[in-house]
Amino acid sequence: MNEKINIETYFNKGTFIIPEYQRGYKWSVKDSESKSSLEYFIDSLVKAFEDCYHEYFIEAVTVVEENRRIILVDGQQRTTSLFLIFVELEDFDFIKNKLKYDIRQDSHKWLNNLISNHKEEIVDNDTQDIFYFKEALKLIKLKLDSLDKDQFSKFVKEKVYLLNNPISKEKAFNTFISLNGLKAVMREEELIKSDLLIKSSRIENSQSNKEEQFGIEWGINEDRGRLARNWDKWLYWWNQDEVKNYFGITKDHYPLYYLLVTYWRVNFSHKGKMKDFSFNNFKSKFISNAQDARKHFEGLRKLQKTFEDLYDDFYSHNFLGLILKTSSSKEESLHYFLESKTERELTIEEYAKWSLVGATHLEIINQVVEKVKNEETDEEQNVLIKRRKAQENINLINEKFVYWDENDEEYNDGRKEYAFRFLLLLNLLEDSKLKRKFDFSVWNNRSLEHIYPKSKSQLLDFSQEFYKESSIHSIGNLVLLYGGDNSSFGAKNFTDKKNTYFNTSEDFNSRNLLHTISVFSRSQWRESEISENKKSIINQLNSYYGLN
């Protein structure tokens, strides 16, 4: 239930807790008008004091109240600013044990040292929070210097009010998101970065003189800068649009997700039951002390280099890309190829070709045993399982009607999907022959185009024996295009489409698709060419999958 209370009542409720999902203190940061939120806040309080307000309202806070623990869901910046104001007013008894940063221990210790005679050791005196605390105190001192401190303290305690809004603990995080948006959350990736940077650059030292301590602190700052620059380079790489498109990174995954989760899997693959990836699990296993943090930061650096090398090499780029687009488990696939193995059972191309036809990860790596024939070995049976899936899907696109009216109740949607997949494969194989990286942006921007226009199907006759297994809707009359290019073709005849394709004065992304180009190199396109092209495609696929 909402209650209107003054600051004295508010602070006497207990200890305010800054939960781990909150970002750090930022009110002393200046905005585009060179005036920070803290400056606006202090100026408004000072004006209310000088104008002798009987009541001054500073908006609402949303909290979870657990006995004397007050978890700040919304109101962190205001509460911390009030705490710092009372520090400057030297009203230490009023704010003692009133504010605690839940996971950022150095921030908590620094604030506690402001009001305590027993100074707690601070490992990192230059964290973002502490920097902004210092900036805030400078501004507060400047703004309050000419005021009567006792009178101003009394005014803020008694005359300044807020609306206290307690909620249940179960609603806390979702309420925070709805009030602040996702950008306000310190996400797992940032929490891992923060802990890694602090602990990786920490030098464990118990005894040192001032000169030695200065050198140590200098080394810490230099190390931290180097590590932060490394992390930021990784983040820049993963944030590139082409990289995000290639790995399929959506807004549900932060950019470094695949780096962190792959490192987690690689380091737990042979250690029994693997815990789910999370910040707390990652922290407890990898960042518990300085030595481990440095070791795992270096491990992440090497893994990042492996990601970049795979992406830059045309061969691994093409077939890993195919895996990423078709695999039922990206994380397992990445783990399989990024774990340091001297001898891996399958090449990346071998894995990719079975992923494309819908085989699962375990089926691909021969760890699923299905009794097909008793006399065969487990490995032979797994090969049969994968070949059967390939045969079933090649059979789908070998049908007379692959691209058909969606209103036909007997139509199998799998035909169009696998027509797209197999045509993409054929284009990708041509790129690989030329040692060229394939452009996977076509995956989510796909179009299957009729070579001979379907609107003119009445002009073709497939009744002859040689043509009867083909139609204008068969795989022999379909090519892969980028989605935006199909409008350039429209209902044009083959010659006009060919002219469009080879008119280099026009933008046409599909001109990069080499298998598609080979079709338009023909001089004409009718029943004979459609039937021949169908047979050629099916033969190529049967040969590639060892089904001949």
pTM (global) more than 0.85: no
Amino acid in the structure at residue 458 = Q
As a whole number of angstroms, the distance between CA 532 and CA 535 comes to 5
Q: What are the E-state strand segments in 279-396?
A: none
As a whole number of angstroms, the distance between CA 426 and CA 267 comes to 36
| DSSP at 401 | -
> Tell me, what's the pLDDT at 182?
45
Contacts of the segment 213-218: beta carbons below 8 A, 24+ positions apart:
217/125
> Tell me, what's the pLDDT at 511?
87
As a whole number of angstroms, the distance between CA 548 and CA 536 comes to 13
Contact status, residue 188 vs residue 254, Cβ threshold 8 Å: yes
As a whole number of angstroms, the distance between CA 53 and CA 287 comes to 51
> Tell me, what's the pLDDT at 217?
47
Q: Which one, of 225, 233, 23, lies nearest residue 124 by Cα?
A: 225
Q: Which one, of 88, 440, 415, 106, lies nearest residue 245 by Cα?
A: 440
Question: Is 221 exposed, middle or buried (CB count within 10 Å of its CB: 0-12, 13-18, 19+)?
Answer: middle
As a whole number of angstroms, the distance between CA 501 and CA 100 comes to 66
Helix axes 37-50, 128-144, angle to 10 degrees: 30
Contact status, residue 318 vs residue 248, Cβ threshold 8 Å: no
What residues contact 479, with CB distance under 8 A and at least 6 apart? 423, 448, 449, 451, 513, 515, 516, 519
As a whole number of angstroms, the distance between CA 492 and CA 451 comes to 9
Q: What H or E segment, with its residue span, contains residue 84? A: helix 76-88
Mean predicted lDDT score pLDDT of the chain: 82
Question: Is 196 exposed, middle or buried (CB count within 10 Å of its CB: 0-12, 13-18, 19+)?
Answer: buried
Amino acid in the structure at residue 190 = E
Q: Which one, of 306, 277, 315, 256, lies nearest residue 435 by Cα?
A: 315
DSSP-derived secondary structure for 404-464: --TT-TT--HHHHHHHHHHHHHHHHHHHHHTT----GGGTTSEEEEESS-GGGGGG----S
Burial letters 418-436, b for 16+ CB under 10 A, else e: bbbbbbbbbbbbbbbeeee
> Tell me, what's the pLDDT at 143?
93
Residues present in the chain in total: 548
CB count in 10 Å sphere of residue 267? 17
Helix axes 290-312, 210-238, angle to 10 degrees: 30
Find the distance separating the first CA and the last CA of the chain, reported in whole Å: 74
Give the tokens for residue 545.
Answer: 């999958």
DSSP-derived secondary structure for 92-159: HHHHTT-EEESS-HHHHHHHHHHH-SSPPP-S-TT-HHHHHHHHHHHHHHHHHTTS-HHHHHHHHHHH
What residues contact 436, with CB distance under 8 A and at least 6 apart? 314
Contact status, residue 38 vs residue 81, Cβ threshold 8 Å: yes
| DSSP at 30 | B
Q: What H or E segment, with its residue span, contains residue 61? A: strand 56-66
As a whole number of angstroms, the distance between CA 364 and CA 353 comes to 9
- List the chain pLDDT tens, one digit each, 548 residues: 568 899 999 999 999 998 877 777 888 877 555 678 888 899 989 999 998 988 888 877 888 898 889 988 888 889 999 999 999 999 999 999 889 887 677 788 888 888 886 676 665 565 677 888 898 999 999 999 999 999 999 999 999 998 888 888 877 766 665 555 544 545 566 667 766 766 665 554 444 444 444 444 444 555 666 777 788 788 889 988 899 999 988 766 777 888 988 888 888 755 555 667 777 778 777 887 778 888 888 899 999 999 999 999 999 999 999 999 999 888 888 888 887 655 567 899 999 999 999 999 888 887 665 554 555 566 677 788 889 999 999 999 999 988 865 555 555 567 889 999 999 999 999 999 999 999 999 999 988 989 998 888 888 888 888 888 999 999 999 999 998 777 777 778 888 888 888 887 778 888 889 999 998 888 899 999 999 999 999 999 999 999 97
